[in-house]
Every structure is written in structure tokens, then in C-alpha cells.
């Protein structure tokens, strides 16, 4: 397992388990959190290699709290952050733009994220750019 974990802010337990299993499949440790506070607290105990944010499912405010804390803290400012949204729509496109402006490296639709999950986790956690 990697020395630095992947942390995910996600409300859906099924999807949280999917992220944890995908990380394990590529030799990485991952933990899922249902609140920004828990993710941030754990990050202070053990810095993550990558943070994944669910920007929908009622977690919009929590996702922006994580982005704000990470991007304003010099210790975490270089940690890559990926986001995903449940679906593509006009509202989702606006939210994607706002998440990128707040510090997300990339924001995907949930289907894009799911399709490339292992690739995205492995490549970003190890510091390589993703192919998508």
C-alpha cells in the first residue's frame, strides 16, 4: 500500500465502497468520509496523496469547504483534488466550473469518473496526469 492514502468525500455508501475497492485494486489505501470535517481532521493526521470530492448528492457545501481549507493551507495546497458530479446538465456545468475555480484539478461526471476510476486514482495518487 502507498504511504499516503486517498481520501474521498462521498455520501453514497455503495459508491464509497467502490472507490475504496478500486484504490485497493491498484495498490492504494483509500478512506471515505461523509463530512468535510472528518476528511480535514484525518488529513491533518495523515496527509493524503489525492482527495476525491462528490460535488453533488447534497455535498456541495462540504466539497467547497474541503476545497477552501486545502487551497488556503500551504501544507495541503499541492494535494491534487478531483471532483465528480452525478450528471451533466446546465446546472452541473456551472458547478463544474465553480469547483475548478475553487481548486479542483478536474471535475468529471459520475459516469466518466466511474469508467476510469482505477486509472484516475492510480495516476493522480502517484503524480502522473490522467489520460482523460
Question: What spatial distance separates the first Cα and last Cα of the chain, rounded to whole Å?
Answer: 25
Structure confidence at residue 58 (pLDDT): 83
Nearest 5°: the CA angle 65, 102, 28 is: 70
Q: Which helix (H) or strand (E) holds 130?
A: none
Rounded to two decimals, the pTM is 0.90
Concatenated DSSP letters for 5-19?
-EEEE-S-HHHHHHH
Consecutive 10-residue runs of the chain (132 residues): their mean pLDDT? 83 93 92 96 95 89 96 92 80 89 94 92 70 44
Maximum pairwise Cα distance, the chain: 39
Structure confidence at residue 34 (pLDDT): 94
Domain 6-125 sits in CATH at 3.40.50.2300
Task: Give the C-alpha separation, 80 to 77, whole Å.
Answer: 8
Beta-sheet pairing, 6-9 with 106-109: unpaired
Q: How many helices (H) and strands (E) does the chain have?
A: 6, 5
CA 73 to chain centre: 17
Amino acid at each position: 500500500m502507498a504511504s499516503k492514502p486517498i481520501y474521498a468525500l462521498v455520501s453514497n455508501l455503495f459508491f464509497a465502497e467502490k472507490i475504496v475497492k478500486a484504490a485497493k485494486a491498484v495498490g492504494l489505501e483509500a478512506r471515505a468520509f461523509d463530512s468535510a470535517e472528518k476528511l480535514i481532521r484525518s488529513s491533518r493526521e495523515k496527509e493524503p496523496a489525492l482527495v476525491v470530492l462528490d460535488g453533488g448528492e447534497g455535498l456541495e457545501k462540504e466539497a467547497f469547504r474541503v476545497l477552501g481549507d486545502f487551497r488556503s493551507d500551504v501544507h495541503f495546497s499541492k494535494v491534487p483534488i478531483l471532483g465528480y458530479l452525478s450528471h451533466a446538465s446546465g446546472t452541473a456545468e456551472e458547478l463544474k466550473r465553480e469547483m475548478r475555480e475553487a481548486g479542483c484539478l478536474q471535475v468529471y461526471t459520475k459516469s466518466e469518473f466511474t469508467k476510469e476510476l482505477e486509472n484516475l486514482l492510480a495516476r493522480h495518487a502517484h503524480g502522473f496526469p490522467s489520460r482523460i
